[in-house]
Amino acid sequence: METQGETQDVGAGSIGDWASRSADPGYRAAVVDLLGALAYGELSAFERLAEDAKFAPGLADKAALARMASAEFQHFQLLHDRLAAVGADPDEAMTPFVEPLEGFHRLTAPSDWLEGLVKAYVGDAIATDFYREVAVRLDDDTRDLVLGVMADTGHAQFAVDKVRQAIEENPRVGGRLALWGRRLMGEALSQAQRVVAERDALSNLLVGGAQVQGFDLVEVGKMFNRITEAHTKRMAALGLAS
Amino acid sequence: METQGETQDVGAGSIGDWASRSADPGYRAAVVDLLGALAYGELSAFERLAEDAKFAPGLADKAALARMASAEFQHFQLLHDRLAAVGADPDEAMTPFVEPLEGFHRLTAPSDWLEGLVKAYVGDAIATDFYREVAVRLDDDTRDLVLGVMADTGHAQFAVDKVRQAIEENPRVGGRLALWGRRLMGEALSQAQRVVAERDALSNLLVGGAQVQGFDLVEVGKMFNRITEAHTKRMAALGLAS
């Protein structure tokens, strides 16, 4: 999915390939953390989309959500296989992220079809923005994987069309969904802050540490701000004030 | 998945290709019915497997069920695209089968992980048996599609291993799951009988009609018997008396 132009340029130089970088145990642990978080995020997105499909008003809509869920599962598989290929235990790598992600989903269970669509759209977009941001911190091999997983979605237009149509038919729906969008972003940031606070290796990757180019805690805050700004623009594009 | 040797030989002669057979409106309607039933069956299987994944005792198990669900979705997509390619409305073709399949799922909602696994295994096996049986009634193009969709599963071993292991650890589990397997088969037959009674074109295809090689209502009964026998053998292989 396309994001607005606020996120960092992905092609900004190489820090080496996996073979050279993974000799550093701190870097290795950070990448295993990152892949574990992304993998569980995809598996969890699969589950939620599949569950939300039951709200679908018709068979074509149900199939569209099932298609998105299935695409998320393919992403999960790629990330899972990569973890296994670098000698990590995929389950172990995912485990620390189960609780933050389940917490997010528990606090943002959609109550109807439109809330489910907005959540699928916003969740996918936030994930894409985060992938792009973190990609510049990664070795070439891990970066290719992360950008490949990200590039494959493209289901957002479905959600955009359905939500716009619903707002046109009943403008009051817009107010409710705008509130919902703010809540989704708030809960996502809250869980992300929790992960940054708890996962040292991953946080060191995000804030730079000794080995990676400069990027401090202020920069992490700026990254969250860029993602929030991109979210605001997307919500406006959806016809929702955020 | 492999079925025991009771089902009919699939290579038993050709009745022509789709271009020649579809000129007959009765045959065409029957195939659209069949593809609609199979397509909704796959979409519905996707939903149920994805929902049952929440019972998984661990991440690897959850991923395995999500993988099966995703494979069912790929099958749905093939059947859906074929319906569109022959000029049928996929939603319309699926609609008559929503209620029988939802009825089946409503009456057989698994109450735990093992019941979900047995259901996935049994449901997949019954579907495969039915695909094989009906394949011999079909034109070459439709038959290739149906056998292609069928050939791709292969996740049954996962369920078999897990269920056997659970019975070894606690033999009393076997009694409960044997009852469950009988209930699954009973409900499946009951819904299948309902579909045969309600869908004329499809039933005509199954019982032969004027245009297709002989196959009467007694033969439909025999087909159900063959599928039931294969089910019985599979349950025994699983360590369950049926």
B47, closest residue in chain A (CA to CA): A50
Instruction: Compute the average pLDDT of residues B207-215.
Output: 50
Residue A11 lies in a domain: no
Alpha carbon distance B71, B154 (integer Å): 10
Residue A180 has pLDDT above 80, yes or no: yes
Q: Which is more confidently placed, A100 or A201?
A: A100
- Its domain, for residue B91, covers 21-237
Q: Residues of A near B (CB-CB distance < 8 A)?
A: 40, 43, 46-47, 50-51, 53-54, 58-60, 62-63, 66-67, 69-70, 73-74, 76-77, 80, 90-91, 94-95, 98
Residues 6+ apart with CB under 8 A from B137: B15, B205, B206, B212, B215
Instruction: Compute the average pLDDT of residues B100-123.
Output: 91
Longest dimension (CA), chain A: 58
pLDDT tier, A212 (very low <50, low <70, confident <90, very high otherwise): very low
Residue A222, min C-alpha distance to chain B (Å):
33
Q: Which is more confidently placed, A230 or B213?
A: A230
Over residues A3-59, the pLDDT tens digits come to: 444 444 444 578 899 999 999 988 899 999 999 999 999 999 999 889 888 889 999
Residue B179 has pLDDT above 60, yes or no: yes
Alpha carbon distance B136, B133 (integer Å): 6
Alpha carbon distance A200, A3 (integer Å): 28
Chain A residues with CB inside 8 Å of B73's CB?
66-67, 69-70
- Are B70 and A67 an interchain contact pair (Cβ–Cβ within 8 Å)? no
Alpha carbon distance B173, B85 (integer Å): 47
pLDDT confidence of residue A202: 79
Residue B81 has pLDDT above 80, yes or no: yes
Q: CB A207: neighbour CB atoms within 10 A?
A: 18
Tell me the torsion sign for CA atoms A193, A212, A37, A49: positive
Alpha carbon distance A240, A175 (integer Å): 7
Residue B15 lies in a domain: no
pLDDT confidence of residue B191: 85
Alpha carbon distance B62, A217 (integer Å): 35
- Are B40 and A51 an interchain contact pair (Cβ–Cβ within 8 Å)? no
Token pair recorded at residue B190: 């009951």
pLDDT tier, B154 (very low <50, low <70, confident <90, very high otherwise): low
Alpha carbon distance A219, A207 (integer Å): 7
Instruction: Compute the average pLDDT of residues A176-198.
Output: 87
Burial A137-151 (b: 16+ CB within 10 A, else e): bbbebbbebbeebbe
Residue B48, min C-alpha distance to chain A (Å):
9
* Average model confidence (pLDDT) across chain B: 84
Interface test with A, best of B51, B65, B70, B77 (most A CBs within 10 A): B70
pLDDT confidence of residue A224: 85
Of the candidates A63, A76, A95, the beta carbon closest to that of B63 is on: A76
Residue B107, min C-alpha distance to chain A (Å):
17
Name the nearest CA neighbour of A126 among A198, A43, A187.
A187
Token pair recorded at residue B75: 């099958």
pLDDT tier, B6 (very low <50, low <70, confident <90, very high otherwise): very low
CATH code of the domain covering residue B77: 1.20.1260.10
pLDDT tier, B166 (very low <50, low <70, confident <90, very high otherwise): very high
pLDDT confidence of residue B7: 43
Name the nearest CA neighbour of A126 among A4, A236, A9, A35.
A4
- Are A67 and B51 an interchain contact pair (Cβ–Cβ within 8 Å)? no
Alpha carbon distance A197, A207 (integer Å): 12
DSSP label at residue B14:
-
Whether residue B117 contacts residue B160, with contact meaning beta carbons closer than 8 Å, is answered with: no
Chain A residues with CB inside 8 Å of B60's CB?
90-91
Instruction: Compute the average pLDDT of residues A51-73.
Output: 90
Residue B40 lies in a domain: yes
CB neighbour class for A152 (10 Å; exposed up to 12, middle 13-18, buried from 19)? middle
pLDDT confidence of residue B201: 75
Residue B133 has pLDDT above 50, yes or no: yes
Which range, A150-154, A212-216, B97-101, is most confident?
A: B97-101
Residue B76 has pLDDT above 70, yes or no: yes
Alpha carbon distance A231, B185 (integer Å): 49
Instruction: Compute the average pLDDT of residues A112-128.
Output: 89
Instruction: Compute the average pLDDT of residues B148-168.
Output: 81
pLDDT confidence of residue B234: 86
pLDDT confidence of residue A148: 87
Q: Which is more confidently placed, B124 or B11?
A: B124
Q: Which is more confidently placed, A194 or A103?
A: A103
pLDDT confidence of residue B151: 67
Residue B182 lies in a domain: yes
- Are A47 and B58 an interchain contact pair (Cβ–Cβ within 8 Å)? no
Of the candidates B51, B70, B98, the beta carbon closest to that of A70 is on: B70
Residues present in chain A in total: 242
Which range, A146-155, A163-172, B56-65, B74-83, is most confident?
A: B74-83
A55, closest residue in chain B (CA to CA): B47
DSSP secondary structure string for all residues of chain B: ----TTSPPTTS-----HHHHTTSHHHHHHHHHHHHHHHHHHHHHHHHHHHHGGG-SSHHHHHHHHHHHHHHHHHHHHHHHHHHHTT--HHHHHHHHHHHHHHHHHHT--SSHHHHHHHHHHHHHHHHHHHHHHHTTS-HHHHHHHHHHHHT---HHHHHHHHHHHHHH-THHHHHHHHHHHHHHHHHHHHHHHHHHH-HHHHHHHH-TTTSS---HHHHHHHHHHHHHHHHHHHHHTT---
Residue B56 lies in a domain: yes
Residue A93 has pLDDT above 90, yes or no: yes
Instruction: Compute the average pLDDT of residues A57-69.
Output: 91
For residue A212, report the phi and psi dihedrals to the nearest 5 degrees.
-105, 155
Alpha carbon distance A195, B202 (integer Å): 55
Q: Which residue has the tokens 């040292």?
A: A200
- Are A62 and B53 an interchain contact pair (Cβ–Cβ within 8 Å)? no
Chain B residues with CB inside 8 Å of A53's CB?
47
Alpha carbon distance A132, A137 (integer Å): 10
Residue B69 lies in a domain: yes
Q: Which residue has the tokens 């397997």?
A: B181
- Are B50 and A54 an interchain contact pair (Cβ–Cβ within 8 Å)? no
Residue B140 has pLDDT above 90, yes or no: yes
pLDDT confidence of residue B97: 93
Residues 6+ apart with CB under 8 A from B157: none
Which range, A3-7, A174-178, B13-17, is most confident?
A: A174-178
Residue B156 has pLDDT above 70, yes or no: yes
Residue A111 lies in a domain: yes
To 5 degrees, how large is the angle CA A26–CA A29–CA A31? Answer: 110
Chain B residues with CB inside 8 Å of A91's CB?
58-60
Which amino acid makes up residue B169?
E
Residue A13 lies in a domain: no
Residue B215 has pLDDT above 50, yes or no: no
Overall domain count for chain B: 1
- Are B95 and A59 an interchain contact pair (Cβ–Cβ within 8 Å)? yes
* Average model confidence (pLDDT) across chain A: 84
